[in-house]
Structure 1
Amino acid sequence: MHTKRIGKLGRIVLPKDILDRFQLDNGDQIDISFNETQIIIEPHRQTYVCAITGKVSSEAVKIGEAWISKEGIKKLIEYMDQ
C-alpha cells in the first residue's frame, strides 16, 4: 500500500511501480469512480459498440460514422459472399 498526500489542487501522484504494472504513461487517461467505501482508479480502455453486431468491443475500425468490430467485419464478409 502507498500513502500519498493530496495537493492543494486535489492532485495525487501515482507511484512508478503502479504506473509500470498497469502500463500507464504520461498523458494516458484513467477512469475514476467510487462506491460507498472506495475511490476506484482504473486505466481507461476505449470501447466501441459495433454497428453490425451491437456488441461492445475494445478493438474496432471506424468506417464513415460507424465502428465495426472484427466479428462484425467477419459477419459482413460472410453476408457479401452469399
Structure 2
Amino acid sequence: MHTKRIGNLGRIVIPKDIMDRFQLGAGDLIDISSNETQIILEPHRESYVCAITGKVSKEAVKIGEAWVSKEGLKKLIEYMNQ
C-alpha cells in the first residue's frame, strides 16, 4: 500500500510501480469512480468484454465488478421477464 498526500489542487501522484504494472504513462486516461467506502481508479478502456455475452463492446455499464453491454442488458431483462 502507498500513502500519498493530496496536493492543494486535489492532485495525487500514482507510484511508478503501479504505473508500470498497469502500463500507464503521462497523458493516459483513467476512469475515476466511487462506492460508499472507496475511491476507484482504473485505466480507461476503449472497449469492454460483456460479462453476459462475452462479446467486446464499446458501450457498457459497470455493475459490481462486471461490465455489461446493451445487448447483455437486453438478454438479462428477457431472462428476468421469463
- Give TM class, smaller chain: 0.5 to 0.7
1:1-80 aligned at under 5 Å gives the runs: 1-47=1-47, 56-57=56-57
Unaligned runs of 5+ in 1: 49-54, 59-82
Count residues with an aligned counterpart. 52
Q: Root-mean-square deviation (CA), in Å?
A: 1.7
Deviation string for 1:31-51 (max 9, x for gaps)?
Answer: 000000000000000128xxx
Q: Give the Cα separation in 1 of the matches to 2:43 and 2:22.
A: 7
Q: Give the Cα separation in 2 of the matches to 1:56 and 1:18.
A: 26
> What is the deviation of 1:56?
4.6
Q: Give the Cα separation in 1 of the matches to 2:18 and 2:56.
A: 27
Larger radius of gyration: 1
Q: Secondary structure at the match of 1:32?
A: strand
Deviation string for 1:32-81 (max 9, x for gaps)?
Answer: 00000000000000128xxxxxx6526xxxxxxxxxxxxxxxxxxxxxxx
TM superposition score normalised by structure 2: 0.59
Percentage of pairs with the same residue: 79
